[in-house]
């Protein structure tokens, strides 16, 4: 005599799992072969297969947005109110903006005729370009920066004849990468948690636990600016 079918009993602490059918994307495409889009067995529509021109167009739009944001930040830092300093009407400025690796490669490394750029292009995965790896663009390559950022990116005029401009003779400096920021936790620091009842001397120095926050890729664009007056030939 066959034994009766046994029913599975779920305990209270046993999680219930919702099972969804796994759809083969390849099978679904074959089912709708010859069409631009297809509906899978769950009833959703997928159109994730983009053509090469579409991908190139989206990449170009993203690149233009990053360049536009960079130019906007440069413009905001060409201000004459805070330009004057103890060295005269000159000040060093560094602009930091989010900038993807693909844009940094195609915009600066490929378009600047600087030996270091050609060397960095050979790296399959680009490492941080800070410190000794940063790119110094001399004055005789500034026309290439003009071609990238557009004309008059380096000059800001005002309602009066006051002008704030980039000192082109000093060139610009480019640094790129994912900056690692240190974070310190004093939760278990012996010095910070010391009490008089501990029976030991309080440590002279803190010993916090160190962790790191690695941010998204960013571009550091450095230049020197000066305040002056409008002259013929300026915008």
* pLDDT confidence tier of residue 232, bands split at 50, 70 and 90: low
pTM of the model: 0.68
pLDDT higher than threshold 90 for residue 148: yes
Would residue 48 count as lying in a domain? no
Distance CA 232, CA 29 (A): 64
Q: Could you give the number of structural domains in the chain?
A: 1
Instruction: Indicate the pLDDT class of residue 233, thresholds 50, 70 and 90.
Output: low
Residue 92 CB coordination number (10 Å) = 13
The model's pLDDT over 38-54, given as tens digits with 9 standing for 90+, comes to 344 444 444 456 788 88
Residue 69: pLDDT over 90: yes
Q: Per-residue pLDDT for 85 more than 70?
A: no
207-217 confidence digits (pLDDT tens):
999 999 988 99
Residue 200 in domain: no
Identify whether 35 is part of a domain.
no
Q: Does a structural domain hold residue 144? A: yes
Question: What DSSP letter does each residue of 63-102 carry, written as one string?
Answer: HHHHHHHHHHHHHHH--STTT-BTTBSEEEEEEEEE--HH
Q: Where are the alpha helices (DSSP H) in 78-218?
A: 101-103, 115-121, 142-149
Above 80 in pLDDT, residue 78? yes
Query: β-strand 135-137 against 172-177: which pairing, if any?
Result: antiparallel
* Residue 75 burial class via C-beta count within 10 angstroms: exposed 0-12, middle 13-18, buried 19 and up: middle
| Mean pLDDT for the stretch of residues 158-166 | 86
pLDDT of residue 35: 47
* Residue (of 86, 128, 108) closest to 173 by Cα position: 108
| Structural domain containing residue 132 | 56-195+207-229
Residue 51 lies in a domain: no
**Rounded Cα distance, 164 and 78, in Å:** 6
pLDDT tens by residue, 186-207:
999 999 999 988 888 999 999 9
Mean pLDDT estimate for the chain: 81
Q: Is residue 6 one of the residues assigned to a domain?
A: no
**Any domain includes 13:** no
């Amino acid at each position: 005599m066959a034994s009766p079918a046994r029913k599975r009993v779920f305990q209270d602490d046993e999680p219930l799992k919702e099972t969804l059918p796994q759809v083969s994307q390849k099978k679904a495409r074959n089912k709708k072969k010859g069409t631009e889009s297809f509906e899978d067995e769950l009833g959703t529509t997928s159109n994730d297969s983009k053509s090469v021109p579409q991908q190139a167009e989206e990449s170009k739009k993203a690149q233009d947005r990053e360049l536009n944001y960079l130019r906007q930040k440069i413009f905001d830092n060409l201000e004459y109110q805070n330009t004057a300093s103890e060295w005269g009407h000159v000040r060093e400025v560094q602009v930091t903006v989010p900038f993807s690796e693909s844009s940094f490669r195609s915009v600066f490394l490929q378009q600047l005729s600087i030996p270091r750029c050609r060397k960095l292009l050979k790296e399959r995965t680009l490492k941080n370009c800070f410190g000794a790896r940063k790119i110094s663009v001399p004055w005789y390559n500034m026309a290439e920066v003009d071609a990238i950022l557009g004309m008059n990116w380096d000059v800001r005029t005002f309602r009066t004849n006051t002008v704030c401009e980039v000192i082109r003779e000093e060139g610009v400096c480019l640094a790129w990468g994912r900056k690692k920021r240190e974070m310190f936790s004093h939760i278990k620091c012996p010095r910070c948690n010391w009490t008089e009842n501990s029976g030991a001397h309080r440590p002279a120095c803190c010993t916090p636990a160190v962790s790191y926050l690695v941010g998204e890729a960013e571009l550091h664009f450095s230049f020197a600016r000066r305040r002056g007056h409008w002259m013929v030939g300026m915008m």
